[in-house]
């Protein structure tokens, strides 16, 4: 009797899960398998497949070998790493500042919360076009403000040295409202008695920040770091709109992984090569995420 009840429960569970399982198979697992098969070919994305004749132009792991032995791949990976090194510390600092500002209790705080979140709702196309104007070396407002205080601003998006910092500025503007709200929720979850007890013991602002606030919001910091690094490796719309990414940009200084995947697939029609690039990107993101999950045990503190 008991086993029959368990079987009926299992049938009911599978029945209600079947739409999600079917969707996972059709839109995730099967396309992943198919993309891996594509990465083993020299398919151009245009030639029609004759499935009866088998998979055309199979080169095995030749695409992966060609990518890994090409200096361009390591240059592109270096550009992405440079972006991450600039972006991660700055987005953490500015998001924490936004969270502390929005955590204050003063008149009009709701309006401030809306204003800081507007960039998150803005499309990257519109936002990138605005920043392309802001960073214009001739008539952009940023260089105009620098000239006002006697500083000659750089070429920004036309300068190989300053193009990536310009992309980072736009990305911080776009993302700090979202991550700021995550930190705001974490700050609101701190028991105020901890802060009051530290004040009574004579702890100053810096000591309270380092010993109480940051350890207590470390799960939120960990989440933000993981999501930020994943997003950084998938950097694309701001690159394409602000610098066009490739050789049309500042001497290729903003070529990144997804931009290369897009151009190899839809501009150079090397679909198999592009898919191999995307699988290498997946491996890199997966490795970084697993590394962070392992390292979190040393500094992330969860409430027991």
Each domain of the chain, given as residue ranges in start order, spans 61-299
> Which pLDDT belongs to residue 56?
66
The CATH code of domain 61-299 reads: 1.10.3720.10
What is the share, in percent, of the chain residues with pLDDT greater than 90?
39
**DSSP notation for 169-181:** HHHHHHHHHHHHH
Q: How far apart are CA 258 and CA 235, in angstroms?
A: 7
C-alpha closest to that of 167 among 84, 71, 258: 84
List Cβ neighbours of 63 (8 Å cut-off, separation of 6 or more): 39, 40, 42, 272, 273, 275, 276
Q: How far apart are CA 126 and CA 231, in angstroms?
A: 19
Chain segment 252-304, per-residue pLDDT in tens: 888 899 999 999 988 888 999 999 999 999 999 999 999 998 988 888 887 65
Return mean pLDDT, the chain: 87
Higher-confidence residue: 48 or 231?
231
CB 245 within 8 A of CB 263: yes
Give SS3 for 58.
strand
Q: How far is CA 81 from the centre of its chain?
A: 12
> Which pLDDT belongs to residue 55?
63
Chain segment 28-37, per-residue pLDDT in tens: 888 888 889 8
State yes or no: pLDDT of 249 exceeds 80. no
- For residues 136-146, give the mean pLDDT: 88
Chain segment 172-213, per-residue pLDDT in tens: 999 999 999 999 999 988 888 888 888 888 888 888 888 888
In angstroms and rounded to an integer, the radius of gyration of the C-alpha atoms of the chain is: 24
Chain segment 105-123, per-residue pLDDT in tens: 777 778 888 888 899 998 9
List Cβ neighbours of 122 (8 Å cut-off, separation of 6 or more): 174
Indicate the pTM of the whole model: 0.87
> Which pLDDT belongs to residue 210?
86
Give the pLDDT band of residue 245 (cuts 50, 70, 90). low
State yes or no: pLDDT of 229 exceeds 60. yes
Cα first-last separation, the chain? 40
Buried-state track 23-39, b at ≥16 Cβ within 10 A, e below 16: eeeeeeeeeeeebeebb
- For residues 52-81, give the mean pLDDT: 85
Q: Which DSSP letter does residue 49 get?
A: P
> Which pLDDT belongs to residue 253?
83
Q: Where are the alpha helices (DSSP H) in the chain?
A: 2-24, 30-39, 62-68, 71-102, 109-121, 124-134, 141-148, 163-188, 192-200, 205-208, 214-216, 218-233, 237-242, 257-266, 271-299
State yes or no: pLDDT of 221 exceeds 90. yes
Give the pLDDT band of residue 95 (cuts 50, 70, 90). very high
Give the pLDDT band of residue 50 (cuts 50, 70, 90). low
Residue with tokens 């030749």: 62
Weakest-pLDDT range from 50-64, 101-115, 215-229, 274-288:
50-64
Give the pLDDT band of residue 54 (cuts 50, 70, 90). low
């Amino acid at each position: 009797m008991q086993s029959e009840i368990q079987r009926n429960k299992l049938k009911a569970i599978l029945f209600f899960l079947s739409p999600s399982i079917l969707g996972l198979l059709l839109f995730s697992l099967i396309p992943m398998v198919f993309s891996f098969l594509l990465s083993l070919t020299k398919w151009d994305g245009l030639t029609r497949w004759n499935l009866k004749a088998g998979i055309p132009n199979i080169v095995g792991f030749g695409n992966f070998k060609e990518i890994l032995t090409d200096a361009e791949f390591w240059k592109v990976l270096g550009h992405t790493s440079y972006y991450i090194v600039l972006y991660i510390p700055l987005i953490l600092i500015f998001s924490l500042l936004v969270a502390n500002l929005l955590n204050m209790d003063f008149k009009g705080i709701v309006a401030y919360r809306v204003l800081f979140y507007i960039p998150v709702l803005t499309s990257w196309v519109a936002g990138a076009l605005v920043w392309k104007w802001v960073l214009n070396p001739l008539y952009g407002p940023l260089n105009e403000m620098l000239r006002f205080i006697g500083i000659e601003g750089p070429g920004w998006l036309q300068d190989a040295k300053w193009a990536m910092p310009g992309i980072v500025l736009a990305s911080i503007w776009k993302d700090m409202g979202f991550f700021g709200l995550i930190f705001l929720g974490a700050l609101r979850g701190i028991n105020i008695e901890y802060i009051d007890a530290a004040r009574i013991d004579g702890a100053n602002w810096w000591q309270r920040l380092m010993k109480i606030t940051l350890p207590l919001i470390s799960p939120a910091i960990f989440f933000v770091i993981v999501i930020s690094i994943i997003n950084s490796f998938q950097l694309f719309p701001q690159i394409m709109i602000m610098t066009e990414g490739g050789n049309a940009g500042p001497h290729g200084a903003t070529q990144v992984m997804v931009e290369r995947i897009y151009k190899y697939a839809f501009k150079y029609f090397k679909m198999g090569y592009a898919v191999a690039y995307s699988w290498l990107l997946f491996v890199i993101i997966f490795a970084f995420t697993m590394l962070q999950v392992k390292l979190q045990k040393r500094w992330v503190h969860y409430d027991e």
